[in-house]
Structure 1
Amino acid sequence: MATHRFHPTRYFNAIGVAEPCLRVADGDTVVTDTIDASGLDAREVAVASRPNPMTGPFFIEGAEPGDTLAVRIDRLTPSRATGWTYSPLALTVLDPAAILDRPPQQRVVWNIDREAGTVRLQDKVKGLEDFAPPIQPMIGCFGVAPAFGQALSTATSAQNGGNMDYRLFAPGTTAWFPVSVRGALFYLGDGHACQGDGEITGTGIETSFEMEVTFRVLKRTITWPRGETADDIFTVGNARPLDQALQHATTEMSRWLGEDYGLDARAASHLMGQVVRYDVGNVFNPAFTVACRIAKRWLPKR
């Protein structure tokens, strides 16, 4: 097991089959840089311009179609002292009647104070003079090459992962992705210093990061992304409308409870019906994200 330090010279805004930037072994760790769209020269993008430039793809030796790639998020460190967001609230989260009253779109800069552990608007906004939420780094967009030779925009998400903007994709979480191509071809980027549920203004606090992740190849098959923290397990559905994303996440959790915890469909429904929690990921982009989450304390012992 080795640690690789990789400094990218090109970025992608689609997740698909491409020449690997680095080959690593099962169990290896990668420390790499990511950038946000504001720091990107259009000439550096390998696939048509715009959003969410990705670092990668990383080829993981031993990963084959039908396997699962487990990605442990070890560390997310902002590499700039500023980030940016937009206002106002997105069209997708407002009543139609309220859309006419929206103010014009505006881009603002936030100071990222790593010593204080907070983020703060650079320009004063009335009523928010003392607003300084904690830095809570997360990965907005990451995943593996999808099936059937597709290349999916980093503005959306699917079974391979992508732009999910789920707040639990943070340090200490292990994310699982279904492998569809040899080597998995893993991409990551779109780091946020802070973000509420849903990415409801269209951005988190976008900034550049140094990210550290560790890969494991699991010889098992999953259908949708999964994840595990110290306290919870969760499954992720990506689709539109929102209820379809919830259905994908719920079905995947029922499968997981059967595969690893010995619960048949009836037992799983009793457990899920009382203790499941649903979290909203991205509700701004073409596919919405819903996570189905269960606290580990409720799970049968394996």
Structure 2
Amino acid sequence: MQHTFIPTQYFRTIGTHPAALTVNDGDEVAMWCVDAHGIDGNDQTVTPAGNPMSGPIAVNGLVAGDVLAVTITNMHPLRPHGWSYPTLAGNVVDPEYIGAVPYAPGSKLPKEYWDLDTTTGTVQSRGTHGMRVTAPYRPMVGCFGVAPARGEAVSTATSGPHGGNMDVRFFGVGCTVYFPVSVAGGLFFAGDAHFVQGCGEIGGTGVESAMRIDVRLAKAQMERITWPRAEDDDYLYTVGNARPLDQALQHATSEMHRMLIACGADGTSAAVIMSQLIEYHIGNVFDPAYTVVAKIAKSVLRTHGLQSTFR
């Protein structure tokens, strides 16, 4: 079944808020989402800034220990423009170099506006602050996840085992992301959509815009997981969210080892494959918890007779 979800309330925490919509296993939902500053498709501020989330959506039958599979089937811009900050975060450059970065930490940041050209599949900055920059239109979801365990409500500024503000640039159309379920129904939230974003979100934003995010929500056919996992046509991914960065890498690496064992590898073979063929990407390094993503090409798994998909 297909559902349309236009929120009347938004959340800046991901937690056990009452479900705004309840769906069945495998249902599809078109979710209207405001941008990170609470601005909708009509350029109206409808809720305070801080990655306001649409949701939560409960899935009938999900219980703690299950895994929720969220497939992003499409993303539709609700307005033809977005915005970013024309700076770099102070924590991603050398301390002695901060003075060379435009708009020092703590100063009021202006917005650089970008226009979407659906004909060319690009977004272009208006050049108000610096030169005009053209980037490919690669929409992705910056912040999404499920209610954490123990009744926690976690700020949408950060991330954890439940997901959250991971800002992984390839969590876009065609990707399935797997979240560990901690409460009945899962309670899924999403928002903070970007037209495009580089690895790390090192300026503090992608190209932020209001978007409709279309998802399919289903119980995944996999055992309990510790950290989010994902897959697209070409790769399997595991995510670690923590600070410092090496702890996030440890979480992502441990989860990938567990995932390869679930694919049919023994522990030693999984380690050998990972040692030579793993790849890493950086998600959010702007907010309190950093995100590291480990990935293995599905072609590697097929070559070795291992399971290469959980969809």
If the length of structure 2 is used for normalisation, what is the TM-score?
0.91
Which residue in 2 is equivalent to 1:228?
231
Which residue in 1 is equivalent to 2:209?
207
Which residue in 1 is equivalent to 2:162?
160
Which residue in 2 is equivalent to 1:181?
183
> Identity across aligned pairs (percent)?
47
Which residue in 2 is equivalent to 1:59?
58
Which residue in 2 is equivalent to 1:150?
152
Deviations 1:249-297 (A, max 9, x none): 00000001112x2222211111001110000000000000000000001
Report whether the alignment pairs 1:241 with 2:244.
yes
Secondary structure of 1:100's counterpart equals helix
Which residue in 2 is equivalent to 1:216?
218
C-alpha displacement at 1:134, in angstroms? 1.1
The aligned runs of 1:124-139 (5 Å cut-off) are: 124=128, 126=130, 128-129=131-132, 131-139=133-141
Secondary structure of 2:85's counterpart equals strand
Q: Is the 8 A contact 1:10 1:44 kept in 2?
A: no
Q: Is the 8 A contact 2:112 2:128 kept in 1?
A: no
AA paired with 2:39?
A: G
CA distance in 1, matches of 2:44, 2:24: 32
Q: Is the 8 A contact 2:39 2:45 kept in 1?
A: no
AA paired with 1:39?
A: I
Secondary structure of 1:98's counterpart equals helix
Secondary structure of 1:39's counterpart equals coil
Gaps of 5+ in 2: 104-108
Gaps of 5+ in 1: none
C-alpha displacement at 1:115, in angstroms? 2.4
Report whether the alignment pairs 1:122 with 2:126.
yes
Secondary structure of 2:173's counterpart equals coil
- Which segments of structure 1 move beyond 4 Å, counting only runs of 4 or more? 40-45
C-alpha displacement at 1:101, in angstroms? 2.6
Q: Is the 8 A contact 2:39 2:46 kept in 1?
A: no
AA paired with 2:195?
A: A
The worse-fitting range, judged by mean Cα deviation, of 61-70 and 101-110 is: 101-110
The worse-fitting range, judged by mean Cα deviation, of 105-114 and 69-78 is: 105-114
Deviations 1:10-44 (A, max 9, x none): 11110001111100000100012100115169995
Secondary structure of 2:134's counterpart equals coil
Residues 86 and 43 of structure 1: is their aligned pair in 2 closer, same or farther, counting only changes over 3 Å?
A: closer
Which residue in 1 is equivalent to 2:32?
33
Q: Is the 8 A contact 2:38 2:50 kept in 1?
A: no
If the length of structure 1 is used for normalisation, what is the TM-score?
0.94
Which residue in 1 is equivalent to 2:12?
13
